[in-house]
Structure 1
Amino acid sequence: MSHRFASIPGDGIGPEVVAAAKTVLDSLSDGHGFSIEWMDFPNGAEHFLKTGEILPDDTISELSTCEAILLGALGDPRVEPGILEKGVLLKLRFAFDQYVNLRPVRFFRGVDSPISTEGRENLSIYFVRENTEDFYVGLGSRFTGSKASENISLERNRYKMKFKIDVEVEGESEGSYQIGVISRGGATRVIRYAFELARKKDRKNLTCVDKANVLTEMYGLWRDVFREISREYDDVETEFGYVDAVAMNLVRSPERYSVLVTPNLFGDILTDLGAGIQGSLGLSPSGNINPEGISMFEPVHGSAPDIAGRGIANPVAAILAAQMMLDTVGEHAAAGELERAVFATLAERGVRTPDLGGKNSTDEMAQAVIEKL
C-alpha cells in the first residue's frame, strides 16, 4: 500500500523537525508493508517574501490529492504576525473543514515536569478543541471617530452568515470589536467526536469546558448541545468546568481529567498549558482533523527563529504528529510501534536535545528513535 502525504515545512525550525519526522516515517514504513509518497510545498515566510503568495487556491487543489498534511511551523520576524498564521494555517483548517483539534497531553518517563509527577506517572489527557468557530472566525474591526458601520460575512462549508455592524461612540476616539460564533451544527459534531473518543479510548469521564457564566449566549448553546448529546452516552460520565477553574486544576490536580472538549479560544490556551506541564513544547503534537476528509498534523511549538538552522530543535513533537497521522490513515500497528519507540527513547534519559537538558542534535534525536523501531 502507498500513502501520499503532503509536507509543508514552513518557517524557522519547521523544516528541520519535518525532515527528521519524514526520515523516521520512511524508516518505519519498510517494516509495515507500506510506502510513502511525499509532496513538498514551500508555503511559508520565505515563499511569501519572494513571491507575495501565501496559499493560493491551486495549492489547495494540489493538497486535496493527498491523504494528510504534515506541517512544520509558521512565523517569521520579517512578516507581520497573523499574515502567515491566517493565510496558511487557518485557511487550511477552513478549506478542509478540519473541525477537530486533537491534542494529547501525557507525562513521559524520563522527562522532568514543572509540577510533581508522583502518583501521576501514567497521566494521559485528550483535549478535543473545536477548530473552526468561536472567536477565531476572523470577524472584527478597528474604528476611529464617533461612528462606524460595516457589513461582514462568514462562509463555511456548512453555512453562510452575514452581519451588519453599526457603532456610535461617545467619549472615546478609537475602538475595536471581535465577533465569536458558535453554531449548533459546529458544536454538535465536535462534541459528538469527543464522546466517541472517550468511548473508543475507554475513558469514563468527559469534561465540557466553557465560560457560560459570563458569555451566556455562545456558551449557553455549547452547553445545551453537550447536555443533549450526553443522553446518548450513558457509559461516559460528564461534568462542566469553567475555563479558569480548569486551568487551575490542570496545574494542581491534572489527574482529575481524562477527556476535555472545549471551544476554540479556550482550547488554544489550555492545550499550551497542558504542553507546559508535560515538560516541553517540543514533546507536544497536534492534529487538525476532519474525520471524513483531509487532516493536518503539526508540532505544537512555534517556529523558534532564535534557534533555527542550528540543528538543536527537538523533533519529538513533529515525530509524534507524524505518528498521529499514521494512526488516522489506518496504519495502527506502525503508529503504535512509533509511539513506543519515542517513549522508550525518552525514558532512557540518554539522547536528548537542549530543551530537555541535553546536548544532542535534531538528527541524533531522530536517529535514537529509529534505533528503537
Structure 2
Amino acid sequence: MLSRGTARTAQLLRSSAAAAAQQPILPGARASYATVESDLFKPTKFGSKYTVTLIPGDGIGAEVAESVKTVFKADNVPIEWEQVDVSGVDASSERTEQLFRESVASLRRNKLGLKGILHTPISRSGHQSFNVAMRQELDIYASISLIKNIPGYQTRHSGVDLAIIRENTEGEYSGLEHQSVPGVVESLKIITRAKSERIAKFAFNFALANQRKKITCIHKANIMKLADGLFRTTFHQTAKEYPTLEVSDMIVDNAAMQAVAKPQQFDVMVMPNLYGGILSNIGAALVGGAGIVPGCNMGRDVAVFEPGCRHVGLDIQGKDQANPTALLLSGSMLLRHLGLDEHANRISQAVYGVIADGKTRTRDMGGDATTHQFTRAILDRMETL
C-alpha cells in the first residue's frame, strides 16, 4: 500500500501526455505533495486563487512565459502570478543579486514556482549558476524530465516513454573547486549516502505511484568507485524495500549509447546531477527537442516547474520563434499538483491537439509558425474542448 506522500506523488508526476490520452488518475492523488515521505506543504492561497512565483528566465523565457500567462488567463485558471524578472546574463550587478534573493524569498513564501532557464556564463570569471544556487538553497533535490513521444509528431524513435530523475543538489554541481597551483585545478564531486538514498526513494515512489515497472540506476562506479560506488550501492540497498519493481544499473557511457539505440528499454532512470543533465538532453533529442519536454524540481518545501531540458535559447531571443510547449506542459503539471485537473487537461489536450494536427508548428518542429501564432492556435483549440 502506498504511503500518503507516495500516493500524492501521482497527481504531480503523471505525464502531461498521459492526461491528454485521458488515462485514469491514481486514487488519492491530490495537491500538496512535498516529499517522498508524508510531510506535506501547503501552497499560498488567497481567497479562491493560488499565488505562484513566476521566473521567466533568460533568452526565450519572457516570450514563452507570456504564452503561458495568456493561455492560463483565457482558461480562467485561479492563479495569481508573483513575477520576479531575475536574470543570469549580467549577474555582477547589485540589482541582479537583489532580484535573485527576491526570487528565492518568493518561492519560499509561495511554495510553488513556474520558471524558465537562467543563463549561466561559461567564462571563469562568471558567477555560479543561479539555477543550481536556487536548488541548493531551497533544497529542491529531485529533478524530473518526462521524455515521451507526442502523438502525431514523428521522430526517429517511437514508443519512447521514460522519466529521468536526477539528484539536484550535489555531485559535480557542488561548486567546490579551486586552483591549487597555476595550471592545476581541483574540483570536488560530493556524493553522500543520505542524499543518494533520498533520491533513490523518490524514484522508487515515483515508479509505484505512476504504475511504472522498472528503474535503472545510471553511474560511473567502474571508475569512480567511492563516489559513484556509494550512489550505486545505496540504490540497490534501497531497492530491497520495493520488491515489486524491477531494478538494474548501467554505466553512464553505455546508457547514453543505449538511449540513442533503443530508448524503449528504459522506464525510470535515476542518477547523479551531471549524468542527468546529459541524458535529459539526449532524451529531448529523441522525441523532438528541448522545446517540448516538460519537467519539475521537487523539494521538501518548494516545487518549481520548468522545462525538462534546460536550454536558454539566446540565439532566437526576441525573434518570435520560440516553442512554448515545454513551459505550457510544465505549467499543466503545476496545475495537477494543485488538483486543478480540469484546467490542466484542457490546456495539455489543446497543446497536443495543435501539434498532432500539424498545421501550426514552430520552427523547431519543422513548421514556420511564430510563438504568437502557435499560442493563438492553442487558444482556438481550447474553445472546442
Taking structure 2 as the reference length, the TM-score comes to 0.81
2:87 matches 1:44: yes
Aligned mates of 2:302, 2:339 — CA distance in 1: 13
In 1, Cα distance between equivalents of 2:92 and 2:172: 28
Distance in structure 1 (CA, Å) of the matches to 2:227 and 2:93: 41
Residue 201 (structure 2) pairs with residue 192 (structure 1):
yes
Alignment match, 1:95: 137
Partner of 2:378 in structure 1?
369
Distance (whole Å) between structure 1 residues aligned to residue 363 and residue 374 of structure 2: 11
Alignment root-mean-square deviation, CA: 2.1
Residues 1:270 and 2:317 are matched in the alignment = no
Tell me, which stretches of 5 or more residues in structure 1 are unaligned? 146-173
CA–CA distance in structure 1, aligned partners of residues 281 and 93 of structure 2: 32
TM-score (norm 1): 0.83
Assess if the C-alpha contact under 8 Å between 1:103 and 1:271 holds in 2: yes
2:227 alignment partner in structure 1: 218
Q: Counterpart of 2:267 in structure 1: which amino acid?
A: S
Pairing 1:131–2:139 present: no
Change (3 A) 1:91 1:25: same
Change in CA separation of 1:350 and 1:58 when aligned onto 2, cut-off 3 Å? closer
Residue 58 of structure 1 deviates from its aligned partner by 4.7
| Equivalent position SS for 1:248 | helix
Number of aligned residue pairs: give it: 333
Of the three residues 353, 364, 367, the one matched with 1:344 is: 353
User: Which residue number in structure 2 is paired with residue 148 of structure 1?
Assistant: none
In the alignment, structure 2 segments of 5+ residues that lack a partner are 1-47
C-alpha spacing 1:330/1:17, structure 2 compared with 1 (3 Å): same
In structure 2, do the counterparts of structure 1 residues 47 and 26 end up closer, same or farther at CA, with 3 Å as the change threshold? farther
C-alpha distance in structure 2 between counterparts of 1:81 and 1:126, whole Å: 33
Decide whether aligned partners of structure 1 residues 259 and 96 sit closer, same or farther in structure 2, where only a CA change above 3 A counts.
same
Q: Map of 1:208-287 to 2, 5 A cutoff?
A: 208-287=217-296
**1:188-213 CA-partner distances (Å, limit 9, x unpaired):** 11110110111111111111111111
Q: Tell me the distance in 2 between the aligned counterparts of 1:60 and 1:116.
A: 39
Letter in 2 for 1:43: V
| Partner in structure 2 of residue 72 of structure 1 | 116
- Please, which moves more after superposition, 320-329 or 276-285? 320-329
CA distance in 2, matches of 1:58, 1:344: 37
Q: 1:334 to 1:359 in 2, by over 3 A?
A: same
Question: Percent of pairs identical after alignment?
Answer: 29
Could you give the per-residue CA deviations for residues 316-364 of structure 1, whole angstroms, max 9, x where no partner exists? 1111121122222333343233322222221111111111111111122
* Bigger CA radius of gyration: 1
Give distance in 1, aligned partners of 2:346 and 2:51: 20
Maintained 8 Å contact 1:76/1:305: no
Given that residues 75 and 81 in structure 1 are in contact (C-alpha distance below 8 angstroms), is that contact kept between their aligned partners in structure 2?
A: no
Instruction: Indicate conservation of the 8 Å contact 2:157/2:286, yes or no.
Output: no
Alpha-carbon distance in 1 for matches of 2:339, 2:130: 26
Q: Given residue 296 of structure 1, which amino acid in structure 2 is its aligned partner? A: V
Structure 1's 49 and 94: CA in aligned 2 closer, same or farther, altered over 3 A? closer
